[in-house]
Structure 1
Amino acid sequence: MILLQVQHVARYFGADVLFENIYLEIQENARVALVGRNGAGKSTLLKMIAEIEQPDAGRIVKSKNITIGYLAQNTGLQSEKTIWDEMLVVFEPVIQIEKNMRAIEVQLGDPGLLADKEAYQKTLERYDQLQHDFRAANGFGYEAEIRSVLHGFRFYEEDYQKKIHQLSGGQKTRLALAKLLLEKRDLLILDEPTNHLDIETLDWLENYLQMYRGALLIVSHDRYFLDKVVNEVYEISRQKITHYKGNYSKYLDLKAAQLEREWKEFEKQQTEIAKLEDFVNRNLVRASTTKRAQSRRKQLEKMERIDRPQGDEKSAHFRFQSGKESGNMVLTLADGAIGYERQILSAPIDLEVRKYDSIALVGPNGIGKSTLLKSLIGQLPLIQGSEQLGVNVDLGYYDQEQANLNSNKTVLSELWDSHPTTPEKDIRSILGSFLFTGEDVEKAVTSLSGGEKARLALAKLSMHRDNFLILDEPTNHLDIDSKEVLENALIDFDGTLLFVSHDRYFINRLATSVVELSAEGSTLYLGDYDYYLEKKAQQEELRQLAEAEELEQKGIPSKPTNSTGKNKREIDKDAQKLVRQLKRRVDTLETDMSAIEQNIETFELQLTEPEVFGDHVKVQEINQELTALHSQLDGILAEWEEKSIELEELSD
């Protein structure tokens, strides 16, 4: 059944067209993503469907009695109620049924009513109907449902009586989404629902939406989220819309295949046109072939020309380069503690950042990830611990709030004032690579969108040529294309990275290791995000096994866990498999270390040879090789130590 159709809808700004002739269809239980560049009109179209704005042309047709829930970007729940009381508002009809039931229960005990059999029977029938309605509306389970959803958004029993107006903006946004989910609308329209959600909450929301009974229309720049939740994609590009079946990854494949077909059809027609034009040019003036040439010319005139495929829209293109090389040890933090006014959020924190590392810092919202970054750059004091910056380290910092941008300046002056000796044409060229062209560079910083401010902050950072970048949520406000450009620029960066991000795809592409922050301090995982998830799952299984064994020793039967569905024997097998994997990895690392040490010894011997130590160019080349080998050896040694400890713990 079709819930909604967008038919030939358009939005104009004077003579400018944002989009036109838009067609979109949402079926019952559909899972639809709306994608496109920042500024393509995605949020505008969502507002039209939610009847917040009206289209300039076309119409939106909805099925009768459809209920629609809409969550705008960064919309927080505004209320004077407590969290619990506000969630109860959703179930007011159920609560009223329960009140009516209690009132009738009192009536049924009235002796006067008992004496009137007919009135008693009618009251009893009404009570039976109310009981039926109460059960159908989940009257016995709505409080558990509220608790489940609040828990998913990281609100717990101790939070329920907090006043909503006293909460942070991110908490209010999460509550707005929680209330919307509890309302169970036929169609949920979600504009960037993953904003302000940590990774654990994102996982919960993905699973919840997969089971949601209504239809979903989602705008999101989170690629993992789209891959798990949606099975249709509508792309707005160059004022038009195109429909693709499948999740986000499938959409990318289909789009690439479509572009390839369009190029083949275009090139085939261009070849045909060239042949026809050549025939006409050669034969039109010859009497014997004039008629055939005229026929070919008519064929050319009647031909419906295929437009040249445009492919993707213009993308940003930028690089991060360091001005000089740092030492091997970039930053260390020993026994650190972070927080505010002597209230510790996380401790003890130990960090070792080495040259060329790319470390992702993860953990729940409120645990202090941004606080740690600000402590490392000196904006906030550490409560305890010793921090040391390495030799020749130039530190660059990206603030998710873009606090280092001056609202009173223009885009051009924001960069030029920081680098007054750089020629204006070079500043404009750099801004152009971040998609600020023409009159865009004269815009006031205060008038920029979130995505534009993010690109300007990145442009400013790229000009500093730092060799150690500390980035706090660098993908916030960026569309998917800009995220991919940033990823590629950071992958090619010849320096060191420490970053906080909730974008799991971004983490997986960049991270060489993951540091998880919790109230108990920091935990290091030497691998990408997928490796981190695998290790966390293994640790959880082993923890459950240990709990089960402890209960058995006390004579208490352990309950089977629903989260893994594995029994003790299966977990034992997994533990044994992990031991074998770790042993193979340790053996491989030892072999690699031996080979590198031999290479180091060979180069060091070369430095003692007369024909080498007299050649300063050769000496410099060998020293560079030795530096790289020592850095490689340090990295392998660190992993070997971690794996060896894990192997020893599991073997015990």
Structure 2
Amino acid sequence: MSLINVTNLTFAYEGSYDNIFENVSFQIDTDWKLGFTGRNGRGKTTFMNLLLGRYEYSGNISASVTFEYFPYEVKEQENFTIDIIREISPNSMDWEIMKELSQLDVEDDVFYRQFYTLSKGEQTKVLLAAMFLKENAFLLIDEPTNHLDTEARKKLSSYLNRKKGFILVSHDRAFLDNCVDHILAINKTNIEIQKGNFSSWWENKELQDGFELAENEKLKKDINRLSAAAKRTSSWSDSVESSKYATTNSGSKIDRGYVGHKAAKMMKRSKNIESRQQNMIEEKSKLLKNIESNERLKISPLKFHDSKLVELRDISICYDDRVVCEGINFSVEQGERVALQGKNGSGKSSILKLILGEDIPFEGTLVKNNQLVISYVSQDTSDLHGSLSEYAYKYSIDESLFKSILRKLDFSREQFEKNIQDFSGGQKKKVLIARSLCERAHLYIWDEPLNFIDVISCMQIEKLLIEYEPTILFVEHDSAFCENVATKVVRL
């Protein structure tokens, strides 16, 4: 056991006026299984890069371990997998490698396959196993679940639960709960560490937020009372001060010295109340420093004239004589939230694209009305570029509504001025989802919409779908989301 000490860490990107971190100090035990959470764009990946020494910063980071970052970049993907493992962990024996991979249900035959022929899930497992074999390594694991199906996530979560000495960024609540014993959270104004898993941290956060909101309500009442008192006192002192120059009914002059002294006392009292008011206002601003924006999202789905929107009968999809899936039978009824589930490579995305009308080679019967309006969220964000205004114009959506939704998903106004290409992975996915929420459609088709998206935003989207009940067909490997949202599950 050793400690990673972070002292007075301050960092801002070159050309930026805003600090990502400012005088941050905390300690991490290298035996911890540390879950790392925070809204998109708060600096989770930035902090990992600071640990790796990739940016200059002020303050101090001291550690007696070597930091290793996942995803590991494999430059020679034509090499055999065993050679890549040995490159990462040259001192590991073959039996150690085989034992490590067996814990992840990776077959021995991957050793002598070229790395690029492995599935994304296999690549993830191989690289993580190789990195955990390194001596004196503290792993910085950045969103390992994005290319894994539900079963692979469960297996990886169980594997990590048997390990220690890592920081894990993931937005999958069930995944985090199963394999971490501490939470490192980037809040609005600070970084905090708590013992426990994500659910216990979230429960504590909700309790703290509730306390702060209740205190804020009491504080606002006090401020309103003090404001009214200060206004009355100021008005009285002004009235008394002006009366110095008046005369009595008998025509004699007012004792200006006495009246002036009285007015000065009242003015002083007014200033004291005003000072107390300002102190309370400052206290109020401190109180609400870490309450996250979790505003309700809205959607306006269209009603279709038929209860059945889509039907697939005995559908088979083949690519170059390779059968991807066959014997697929299901329908999507109005108001249903259908989760399409299956292992990677089982044809989920192909089925979505077939329904969208793309040129997918298939056999069987697809029943879909030509008047059906569909809104689609793709897995891929690589073609996003330009400004948010240009994007809204391109898709003929209301720009004000589009940006309002992004604000509710924790976009700052400064973000609106940036090029979408410069957004984080989670922010890009939010652009796609916000656009879809702006579109009035009979059917919403979302392909892995939660990849890279922070947990609080996932919860907002979850509440939206449950409250407004749009007809949606979606692929998503986040088990908590699927369990809470889906009204029907189709397994391939």
Distance 1:46 1:363 in 2: 32
1:480-491 matches, within 5 Å, as: 480-491=455-466
Q: Structure 2: give runs of 5+ residues left out of the alignment.
A: 238-260
Deviation at 1:370, TM superposition (A): 0.9
Residues 383/247 of structure 1: CA separation in 2 closer, same or farther (3 Å cut): same
| Match for residue 48 of structure 1 among 47, 50, 66 | 50
| Match for residue 339 of structure 2 among 353, 356, 360 | 360
Residues 402/34 of structure 1: CA separation in 2 closer, same or farther (3 Å cut): closer
1:193-208 matches, within 5 Å, as: 193-208=144-159
Residues 262/491 of structure 1: CA separation in 2 closer, same or farther (3 Å cut): closer
Distance 1:451 1:220 in 2: 11
User: 2:99 corresponds to which letter in structure 1?
Assistant: E
1:31-180 matches, within 5 Å, as: 31-54=33-56, 56-63=57-64, 66-72=65-71, 75-79=72-76, 80-89=78-87, 92-93=90-91, 95=93, 141-149=95-103, 151-152=104-105, 155-167=106-118, 171-180=122-131
Is it true that 1:516 corresponds to 2:488 in the alignment?
no
SS at match of 2:75: coil
| Match for residue 205 of structure 2 among 249, 255, 261 | 255
User: 2:182 corresponds to which letter in structure 1?
Assistant: E
| Match for residue 412 of structure 1 among 377, 382, 389 | 389
1:526-541 matches, within 5 Å, as: none
SS at match of 2:19: strand
| Match for residue 132 of structure 2 among 137, 160, 181 | 181
User: 1:145 corresponds to which letter in structure 2?
Assistant: K
User: 1:61 corresponds to which letter in structure 2?
Assistant: S
Residues 515/355 of structure 1: CA separation in 2 closer, same or farther (3 Å cut): same
Residues 428/68 of structure 1: CA separation in 2 closer, same or farther (3 Å cut): same
Deviation at 1:388, TM superposition (A): 0.7
| Match for residue 303 of structure 2 among 324, 333, 337 | 324
Distance 1:221 1:182 in 2: 25
Deviation at 1:414, TM superposition (A): 2.2
8 Å contact from structure 1 (residues 346, 368) kept in 2: yes
SS at match of 1:492: helix
- Give the length in aligned residue pairs: 457
1:237-636 matches, within 5 Å, as: 237-266=187-216, 278=229, 281=233, 300=276, 306-308=283-285, 309-310=287-288, 311-314=290-293, 318-390=297-369, 393-402=372-381, 407=385, 409-419=386-396, 426-435=398-407, 440-441=415-416, 443-517=418-492
1:34-84 deviations in Å (ceiling 9; x for gaps) = 211111111111111233333x22111213xx2433214xx4433353113
1:617-651 deviations in Å (ceiling 9; x for gaps) = xxxxxxxxxxxxxxxxxxxxxxxxxxxxxxxxxxx
User: 2:34 corresponds to which letter in structure 1?
Assistant: V
Residue aligning to 2:241: none
Residues 171/267 of structure 1: CA separation in 2 closer, same or farther (3 Å cut): same
Distance 1:333 1:459 in 2: 29
Residues 434/317 of structure 1: CA separation in 2 closer, same or farther (3 Å cut): farther
Deviation at 1:401, TM superposition (A): 0.9
Distance 2:29 2:171 in 1: 23
1:372-410 deviations in Å (ceiling 9; x for gaps) = 21122221424321111158532222211147x564x43
8 Å contact from structure 1 (residues 174, 196) kept in 2: no
Distance 2:414 2:69 in 1: 35
| Match for residue 211 of structure 1 among 143, 162, 174 | 162
Larger radius of gyration: 1
Residue aligning to 1:555: none
8 Å contact from structure 1 (residues 371, 380) kept in 2: no
Deviation at 1:514, TM superposition (A): 1.4
Q: RMSD of aligned C-alpha atoms? A: 3.5
Distance 1:482 1:93 in 2: 42
Residues 437/243 of structure 1: CA separation in 2 closer, same or farther (3 Å cut): closer
Residues 331/243 of structure 1: CA separation in 2 closer, same or farther (3 Å cut): same
Residues 494/394 of structure 1: CA separation in 2 closer, same or farther (3 Å cut): farther
Moved more, 353-362 or 298-307: 298-307
Moved more, 350-359 or 168-177: 168-177
Distance 2:445 2:34 in 1: 35
8 Å contact from structure 1 (residues 77, 175) kept in 2: no
Distance 1:16 1:300 in 2: 31
SS at match of 1:254: helix
SS at match of 2:25: strand
8 Å contact from structure 2 (residues 89, 130) kept in 1: no
Distance 1:62 1:325 in 2: 60
Residue aligning to 1:220: 170
8 Å contact from structure 1 (residues 329, 355) kept in 2: yes
1:490-521 deviations in Å (ceiling 9; x for gaps) = 2234432111111112111111121111xxxx
8 Å contact from structure 2 (residues 30, 166) kept in 1: no
SS at match of 2:12: strand
SS at match of 1:33: strand
Residues 388/61 of structure 1: CA separation in 2 closer, same or farther (3 Å cut): same
Distance 1:269 1:410 in 2: 41
Deviation at 1:262, TM superposition (A): 3.0
Distance 1:465 1:270 in 2: 40
Residue aligning to 1:584: none
Distance 2:273 2:445 in 1: 64
Distance 1:441 1:143 in 2: 47
Residues 358/219 of structure 1: CA separation in 2 closer, same or farther (3 Å cut): same
Distance 2:364 2:339 in 1: 21
Give TM-score scaled by structure 1 length.
0.62
Give TM-score scaled by structure 2 length.
0.81
Deviation at 1:434, TM superposition (A): 1.9
Deviation at 1:92, TM superposition (A): 4.2
User: 1:81 corresponds to which letter in structure 2?
Assistant: N
Distance 1:464 1:302 in 2: 45
1:5-44 deviations in Å (ceiling 9; x for gaps) = 1111111234321121222321242122221111111111
Residue aligning to 2:258: none
SS at match of 2:91: helix
Deviation at 1:93, TM superposition (A): 3.4
8 Å contact from structure 1 (residues 327, 390) kept in 2: no
Distance 2:4 2:32 in 1: 11
RCO higher in structure (CA 8 A, sep ≥6): 2
Distance 2:154 2:169 in 1: 17
Distance 1:274 1:492 in 2: 36
Distance 1:298 1:445 in 2: 45
Q: Structure 1: give runs of 5+ residues left out of the alignment.
A: 96-138, 518-652
Deviation at 1:269, TM superposition (A): 5.8
